[in-house]
Chains A and B, each alone.
Chain A
């Protein structure tokens, strides 16, 4: 293969254009080798030495996992490991969710609303309180009050667990470099692993329904609070700690009196992130029997009812936005009403009295959840709009879909699955070398070998082809829209709230219109993945271009650059850091949609994860999930290779 590119020099800064272009050229050569290899293998009739990865070892691994599964099912209520540990956790968590849910029911809908609004006012001011009121209004009017309370109970439980473990871990990581170095890869792994993939093992250990759902949600939401807490503690000025030490403080005193108070704001930011992740995971957890809003969406999906899904999706978006604003405001304290010290207790007491009074009132009149008949149905009009859109562009989109399948997806998948496995591994290594250096090359090769060893090579290659196509589409669309957004402030103002909403909308919701427009198969899955991954890409491109120094732009303009030259020679190259980040984020989001896509016929790895979950085949489900992580690791490292080696 061609020469390695030096990664140490100023490739990412200054004039890296030459090196950059050379890497693309090398990458093209490598891809040409891959296609040639496929062609040779095909002409020779796919001999065994040039086929897919041998599956022997993978099959053994899967049946070993299936054995573990069978053992657990038989011994869940006999083995001490379960009797004295896992069952404690699962019974405790399951009971916690039920109890919180009952408590919310006991407060009645008026009580919950008054409590929520007053708490939001005290913490974040009247604007946010109003938002909370609207949110409760949406829960009630959409007829999803009970589902929302279930979701809320689940979120409270899992955020509590996430913080219970996350904060101490973060503190330890903030104080011990060695511990942090050991912890960081674990956190990376947790973030790349698609949420669906680890549902099954948790179901197995903790039991289906609320217990597993709360553990899974907590695990998914844990990384940001650990990372940000660690970061916050590290950022506490050395001077303050030294001063405290010289005054004879014990380490415990330093932690509680100096470090934690100074780091409080940043830590709260981490808590905020954790809550947001928990909200998005709770929806996915409906697949393992967690009730609530996620279940409402899942049900609508299973009946292809776009309107119903939209209604439940709206409730989740409102919940997410409200929780974000409340915790965000607590973090920066900007809008907290300024209550004088001596009035604090009376205000608190008065608030409690109001809440108690409403609850008593609510119970006296026998109000429980919001009565169904008072619900406003927006499902029907949304469905009508959706049908109209489908009627107008349905023909065109299905033609595009067929074209996509015949000319892009199928050939690419054919090349990746048909090429000899060792060639694919070598190509991955070469790409890693070109874009990230030796370390990345080794990681890339190893992750492909691992995918092969898991025994799911062919499916993984098919999934890879879908992910690659989705990534390219996302980037093209994202760059175009991002550039437009950076050029036009009006467009940007219109687009921004839409992007916000899109990012909080659960991915389930995207699937349904995709099926309506593109039928079943890989194309609707592709469409849903692209839509899901677009918002952050657009945002990052926009931020990157807007971040180019005004002086540079002016200098180029005064030298007579055309707008096109300005964009391609000045703005995009200077925004490369943001662009690379956009590529990276886009890929991770697309990977997280692999399993969702299987719900509308994408097949391959995603389907096997869903199948494993549905048919209790731990081996197949987990192996496929891990293979997705393998692909993710490769794509992640290749796309951020340089940045990482500079950091």
Chain B
């Protein structure tokens, strides 16, 4: 093999040159990526209720206001990161996450803005089918549940009872609650919300016992008769140590989170999203069509938009029609 005595020198020269070029030109921030001004980039977290909101808003933005929309499917934490980096414009349904707001909000990186309530109220908790609770009313209290965890035994968990957890991206304090209330339960992670819901539906159909993580608003409550286990109410700081949580989940006032640059542009799209506010039952109507009837999400949004013009006309900002000319 021939050797190249000059090669290293040349490489070094190139490297130094490239480095100089980069340093001498200006510094690049991640939010300087090319962006289509007519494109609204919306995070979609992995549950159907959120998707319902996103599809309806995206439908109105596209069909009524002439924008393009991009729905990016990411988990909760990464979508905050994406706002911070400027890869997304808005999170439509945020559940808590005070720690992230501290990190990225005005006190921290100052890249995201709290956009206020969506009008939806969020509840997270442990649920079971109503038929089970009717037969064994004591299961709805932590003490009664502790005595009867053997009801929930499955092949997967062996001697312990099974607790079906939600998707890995969801807010969760289940292990802490299991520890604090001393329950003989083992968490089985379904991996996705859909996988979990399929399992719940099939157990419900066979009238088998099942105990699982769920939340409201959620379309499953329109379809199945479910009841929530009654843990002691949330109090400030009870979830400080996630290994020991002796309270229920807090009740969340669901809010929107905007990218700061998106707010500063103050475009019609921002004003529209800022005006948007609806109720749990509105969301459930759309989510039910998507998840339960298996309708295409865009079609479901179209149906809802056609049926409820009086609701969404309120959200349109003044003068948006000028865009279309």
Chain A residues near B (Cβ < 8 Å): 73-74, 76-77, 80, 82-85, 87-88, 90-91, 94-95, 98-99, 102, 175-177, 203, 207-211, 245, 251, 254, 286, 288-289, 291, 295, 298-299, 301-305, 372, 383, 401-402, 405-406, 410, 515-516, 519-522, 598-603, 607, 610-611, 613-616
Q: Report chain A residues within 8 Å CB of B30.
A: 76-77, 82, 87, 90-91, 207
Q: Mark B25-47, 1 if CB is under 8 A from A, else 0.
A: 00111111111100000000010
Smallest beta-carbon distance A470→chain B, Å: 17
Q: Report chain A residues within 8 Å CB of B164.
A: 520
**Are B28's CB and A304's CB within 8 A?**
no
Q: Report chain A residues within 8 Å CB of B118.
A: none
Closest 3 A/B residue pairs (Cβ): A614-B169, A83-B27, A95-B34
Q: Whole-angstrom distance between the alpha carbons of A598 and B188 in the complex?
A: 11
**Are B72's CB and A99's CB within 8 A?**
no
Q: Can you report 28 residue pairs joining A to B where beta carbons are below 8 Å apart?
A: A73-B81, A73-B84, A73-B109, A74-B103, A76-B85, A77-B30, A84-B27, A84-B28, A87-B27, A91-B28, A207-B87, A208-B82, A208-B85, A209-B82, A209-B88, A286-B73, A288-B78, A295-B73, A303-B48, A519-B199, A519-B202, A520-B198, A598-B168, A599-B195, A600-B195, A610-B168, A611-B168, A614-B75
**Are B199's CB and A88's CB within 8 A?**
no
Smallest beta-carbon distance A235→chain B, Å: 15
Q: Whole-angstrom distance between the alpha carbons of A286 and B108 in the complex?
A: 29
Smallest beta-carbon distance A305→chain B, Å: 6
Q: Report chain A residues within 8 Å CB of B194.
A: 301-304
Q: Report chain A residues within 8 Å CB of B46.
A: 302
Let me know if B2 is at the binding interface, CB within 8 A. Answer: yes
Smallest beta-carbon distance A381→chain B, Å: 13
**Are B70's CB and A301's CB within 8 A?**
no
Let me know if B23 is at the binding interface, CB within 8 A. Answer: yes
Label chain B's interface by main secondary structure: mixed
Smallest beta-carbon distance B93→chain A, Å: 15
Tally of A-B Cβ pairs under 8 angstroms: 176
Q: Whole-angstrom distance between the alpha carbons of A614 and B75 in the complex?
A: 5
Please, which residue of chain A has its CB at the minimum distance from the CB of B187? A603
**Are A402's CB and B155's CB within 8 A?**
yes
Q: Report chain B residues within 8 Å CB of A298.
A: 73
Q: Report chain A residues within 8 Å CB of B34.
A: 94-95, 98-99
Q: Report chain B residues within 8 Å CB of A84.
A: 19, 22-23, 27-28
**Are A603's CB and B189's CB within 8 A?**
yes
The contact of A615 among B2, B23, B169, B195, by CB within 8 Å, is B169
Q: Report chain B residues within 8 Å CB of A82.
A: 30
Most B CB within 10 A of own CB, among A74, A102, A305, A614: A614
**Are B72's CB and A91's CB within 8 A?**
no
Please, which residue of chain A has its CB at the minimum distance from the CB of B46? A302
The contact of A614 among B70, B155, B168, B291, by CB within 8 Å, is B168
Q: Mark B54-93, 1 if CB is under 8 A from A, else 0.
A: 0000000000000000101111111001101101100000
User: A95-B34, A522-B156, A598-B168 given. 16 additional CB < 8 A pairs?
Assistant: A80-B27, A84-B27, A203-B78, A203-B81, A207-B82, A208-B85, A289-B72, A301-B194, A302-B46, A303-B294, A600-B195, A601-B190, A601-B195, A613-B168, A614-B78, A614-B167
Q: Report chain B residues within 8 Å CB of A99.
A: 34
Q: Whole-angstrom distance between the alpha carbons of A570 and B56 in the complex?
A: 66
Smallest beta-carbon distance A307→chain B, Å: 9
Most B CB within 10 A of own CB, among A73, A286, A289: A289
Q: Report chain B residues within 8 Å CB of A401.
A: 155
**Are B29's CB and A77's CB within 8 A?**
yes
Most A CB within 10 A of own CB, among B29, B155, B194: B155
B248-301 interface with A by 8 A CB criterion: 290-291, 294, 298
Q: Report chain B residues within 8 Å CB of A607.
A: 168, 189, 191
Given A91-B28, A208-B78, are A598 and B191 also a contact pair (CB < 8 Å)? yes
Q: Whole-angstrom distance between the alpha carbons of A322 and B158 in the complex?
A: 48
Let me know if B193 is at the binding interface, CB within 8 A. Answer: yes
Let me know if B120 is at the binding interface, CB within 8 A. Answer: no
Smallest beta-carbon distance A146→chain B, Å: 10
Q: Whole-angstrom distance between the alpha carbons of A598 and B48 in the complex?
A: 20
Smallest beta-carbon distance B188→chain A, Å: 6
The contact of A600 among B22, B74, B190, B298, by CB within 8 Å, is B190
